Amino acid sequence: MVSFAAEPIIRLGFFSFTNSFLDTLIVDGLLIGLVVALNKKLADIPGKLQNLMEMAVETFYDLTESVAGHNAGKIFPYFMTFFLFILLANWTGLFPGFSTVGFYEGEKTKTLVPILRAATSDFNVTLGLALVSAVATHIMSISTIGIKQYLGRYFSLNPVNLYVGILELISEVTKVVSLSFRLFGNIFAGEMVLATVGSIFAFLFPLPFMMLEVVVGLVQALVFSMLTMAFMAVLSTPHHEEAKEVSTK
């Protein structure tokens, strides 16, 4: 039975080095490797890798620009990093050996402790990402529209606006909860499905589920990053501009 919590592999004092943290480091390594490989061969006439990265960066930047307009430069790094990090974390969990190769723990009921586990199937990772997303959104909002307008979004002397502001405050909390639990739930559930199907049929039958998980991994990365981008775009737009946009629609 796979546990909700990531299993510790090594304990370093108060810090438990978990199998999901190991995957996090693998993802970091892949991303840093990508950066190094790209910077090594960065040229005016692009190679295959540079071409691919240019295409990806341009597509994501254009998408951010179409949503956030002039704030695209600030939002884009968060959008793209969330996407790349979550996508790699989701997909590395599908590699052979993840959640299957490990060691047994316990004396009476021996349970398998996998050495590797998808980083996004650890609630600490998804909650951390959601918190970074929320905090960055609010910092960006203050720096873009100013503290007065930022606070004006939540607090007002008008009772109707005050009520809406309180709802907005609650929604800020629920954003973190929904972002973290959606990603964690989807990836964890996927792992459970794969583990179950894999334990019943070893060959061929798990393949469609693997394909489904590839899609789920991509979709979840897109959902998380695009929601972050949308929240950032909305909170970085002054109230009167929002009203203008609504009235022109």
Partner 1 sequence: MEILKNFGFDPVMLAAQIVNFLIILYILKRFLYKPVLDMLKKREDTIKTGLKQAEESRLLLEKTVEEEKKVLSKAQEEAKKLIEDAKNQALEAAKEVEEETRASTERMIVEARNQISQETKEAEKRLAESASGLAEQILSTSLKEMFPEKDQKTIVDNALKRIKK
The footprint of partner 1 (CB under 8 A) covers 3-6, 14-16, 18, 21, 24, 28, 31-32, 34-35, 38-39, 42, 44, 46, 50, 53-54, 57-58, 61, 76-78, 80-81, 84-85, 122-125, 127-129, 131-132, 184
Per-residue tokens: 96: 């052979």
| DSSP characters over 205-232 | THHHHHHHHHHHHHHHHHHHHHHHHHHH
Indicate the residue among 120 and 237 with the shorter CB distance to partner 1: 120
Indicate the residue among 131 and 169 with the shorter CB distance to partner 1: 131
Indicate the residue among 55 and 147 with the shorter CB distance to partner 1: 55
By C-alpha distance, which of 184, 12, 210, 177 is closest to 98? 210
Indicate the residue among 24 and 144 with the shorter CB distance to partner 1: 24
The amino acid at residue 246 is V
- Give me the torsion for CA of 59, 211, 49, 22, rounded to 10°: 110
Indicate the residue among 206 and 232 with the shorter CB distance to partner 1: 232
Query: Minimum distance from CB of 107 to partner 1 (Å)?
Result: 22
Query: Minimum distance from CB of 125 to partner 1 (Å)?
Result: 5
Query: Minimum distance from CB of 221 to partner 1 (Å)?
Result: 14
**Alpha-carbon distance values, 41 to 32, 44, 215, 235 (Å):** 14, 10, 31, 38
Residue 155: phi and psi, rounded to 5, are -120, 135
Query: Per DSSP, what are the bridge partners of residue 11?
Result: 16
Query: Minimum distance from CB of 36 to partner 1 (Å)?
Result: 8
Query: Minimum distance from CB of 157 to partner 1 (Å)?
Result: 36
Query: Minimum distance from CB of 13 to partner 1 (Å)?
Result: 10
List the beta strands (DSSP E) in 13-145: 15-18, 102-105, 111-114
CA-CA distance, 239 to 150, in Å (whole number)?
Answer: 9
Indicate the residue among 136 and 145 with the shorter CB distance to partner 1: 136
Per-residue tokens: 148: 């007065």
Query: Minimum distance from CB of 174 to partner 1 (Å)?
Result: 16
The strand pair at 8-12 and 111-114 is best described as: unpaired
Indicate the residue among 29 and 146 with the shorter CB distance to partner 1: 29
Q: Residue with structure tokens 């009520």? A: 163
